[in-house]
Amino acid sequence: MPRLHPDIHWLIDYAAGTLPLSHALCVAAHTEYCSSCQSKVRELSAIGGSLMSTDTGTSNAAEPSASEELNEDESEALNKLWAAIEQAKVAQSDTDATRPVDQANHVNTLQSETTAALPTCVKKLLPDTMEQLNWKKLGRHLSVTQLASGDTQREVALHRIHPGRGVANHDHKGEEVTVVLRGSFSDQKGIYLPGDFLVMQAGHSHQPVASGDMECICLSVLDAPIKFTGPINRLMNPFLKIHPSPAPA
Amino acid sequence: MYQSGVKERLAHDEWAAVMHKIASDQDRKAFAKLFAHFSPKIKSFCMMLRSQHTSPQMADELVQDVMIKVWTKAEYFNSDKASVSTWIFTIARNCRTDYLRKLKRTETPLVADDLWPMAEEEAPFASLEQHRIEKNIHHALTLLPPEQAEALKQIYISGKTHAEVASALGLPLGTVKSRVRLAIAKLRISMSELLAEESEAEPTDATGSSKAAGAELEP
């Protein structure tokens, strides 16, 4: 069970559906490790269900036994709906025909040692094996690969730190959200285990080191580029920028 | 209070029964009943979204998307894990997210159902209490001070961030955050009180602890 959880406001925004997609991905990844946040989200979603059924200015006849006649517009909408459901069925049987290929891919994913333990929502963004990703080296022991989350304002990436190795001391110019997916790392403040959810504010500086037994893989979402503070690594700063999902042409 | 609780529970179970008819018999009459009740609610939920894209046409499209999912996914509805209205809310929230994402035309394999897995897919940690908690949230919401209920409504129904709620109400962000936090705390306290009331033969004083959390923190 993770030790560091998203703040209640994050969970509320997640349940309400107002979090940016990249942040929602982080919360979703965390909840795959955390049963307590899962049940909180379930409670918080129930608030949405209750608000939708009472506060939207429609009649509040709560009982299905009460007669609810459809007006003309509604009957027409229902007829359209049946037609759309028929169409959806046809489309579904078309996709079913192509499914064996998907399943073959799925098996590959499971066989790949490094991706097997990652959360389902993150795996959706990954190719069959970790090696197929376009890893870029940021220093000797850290590599990074951007993921297409659909968020046009933030960069979503996987970070991979070699076992027992550290990342150069760096500042955060914007907010960074990190979820540990595999292995663990530590910094001046403590040790972070799989599922741990960290929000680092702008101006925060730290020097993470992966634990010695295995490499550490983290999901991270950046608002603005990080900045290395060491004398040599500082030379890399001009080359660091965030890579959000491309905006539409 | 007791009576309204019983009535809500009855309604909750009846809608669950309607869902089961849809799931097991593909009962079109049952679906029409559900449609008559929920489609106006889904439509006004969509109409209240604060977005440049909000329009009656968008709302109608979304009602259709949501109701198609209700029909095709009916077998996954589990009344032990969520009430019908919560289940439909989560579908509507996901459809709304996908609708807005498609408008932005960004390239990603992710769909809302990946980011907000629906209750039926969360089986490993299913909570046995959920069924009862749900029934009581409904009642507890009616007891919230209006300004706290308003803040929740703007977040859940109008889809605003905390910062957007603050600017809409002309309040500091901290005030909105504390209203929301107090509302949630109060709902959780009310929930546990009602749960205690149900399980104990002797009803406990239901007002005591909610008063303790009642003071609004204004910075």
Spatial separation of the C-alpha atoms in residues A178 and B188, rounded to whole Å: 28
Contact (CB<8Å) B83/A49: yes
Print the domain residue range for B175. 127-214
Write down the CATH number for the domain with range A1-50+108-249. Answer: 2.60.120.10
- Asked if residue B80 and residue B177 are part of one domain, the reply reads no
- Asked if residue B79 and residue B14 are part of one domain, the reply reads yes
Contact (CB<8Å) B152/A42: no
- Choose the closest CB to A51 out of B119, B152, B188: B152
Q: Tens-of-pLDDT digits for all 249 residues of chain A?
A: 899 999 999 999 999 999 999 999 999 999 999 988 988 898 899 999 999 987 544 444 455 555 567 778 788 889 999 998 888 777 777 766 654 544 444 444 444 556 777 999 999 898 878 888 889 988 889 999 999 888 888 999 999 999 998 887 777 778 899 999 999 999 888 999 999 999 988 877 788 899 988 899 999 999 866 566 666 566 656 556 667 776 655
Q: What is the pLDDT of residues B109-142, one digit of tens each?
A: 889 999 998 755 444 444 556 667 777 888 889 8
The kind and range of the H/E element at B96 are helix B84-104
Contact between B147 and B179 under an 8 Å Cβ cutoff? The reply is yes
Q: Is B210 on the interface with A (CB under 8 A)?
A: no
Please give the tally of structural domains in chain B: 2
Pick the closest to residue B35 from A34, A157, A64 (CA basis): A64
CATH code of the domain covering residue B142: 1.10.10.10
Q: Sort strands A142-146 and A155-161 into parallel, antiparallel or unpaired.
A: antiparallel
- Asked if residue B207 and residue B103 are part of one domain, the reply reads no
Contact (CB<8Å) B33/A77: no
Q: Which pTM does this prediction carry? A: 0.82
Contact between B91 and B64 under an 8 Å Cβ cutoff? The reply is no
Edge-to-edge strands, sheet with A170-172 = A205-206, A170-172, A226-228
- Asked if residue B71 and residue B167 are part of one domain, the reply reads no
Mean pLDDT of B131-155: 87
Spatial separation of the C-alpha atoms in residues A208 and A191, rounded to whole Å: 9
CATH code of the domain covering residue B99: 1.10.1740.10
Token pair 């889809």 in the structure block, residue = B159
Contact (CB<8Å) B156/A16: yes
Output the average pLDDT for chain B: 80
Residue A104 burial by Cβ neighbours in a 10 Å radius (0-12, 13-18, 19+): exposed
Tell me the residues of chain B between 1 and 40 that have a Cβ less than 8 Å away from chain A.
Answer: 7-8, 10-11, 14-15, 17-18, 28, 32-40
Q: Is B158 on the interface with A (CB under 8 A)?
A: no
Close Cβ partners of A225 (under 8 Å, ≥ 6 residues apart): A173, A174, A237, A240, A241, A242
Instruction: Specify the length of chain A in residues.
Output: 249
Tell me the residues of chain A between 16 and 45 that have a Cβ less than 8 Å away from chain B.
Answer: 16-18, 21, 24-25, 28, 35, 38-39, 42-45
Residue with more model confidence, B202 or B142: B142
Pick the closest to residue A177 from A219, A210, A126 (CA basis): A219
Contact between A152 and A246 under an 8 Å Cβ cutoff? The reply is yes
- Which ipTM value was assigned to this complex? 0.81
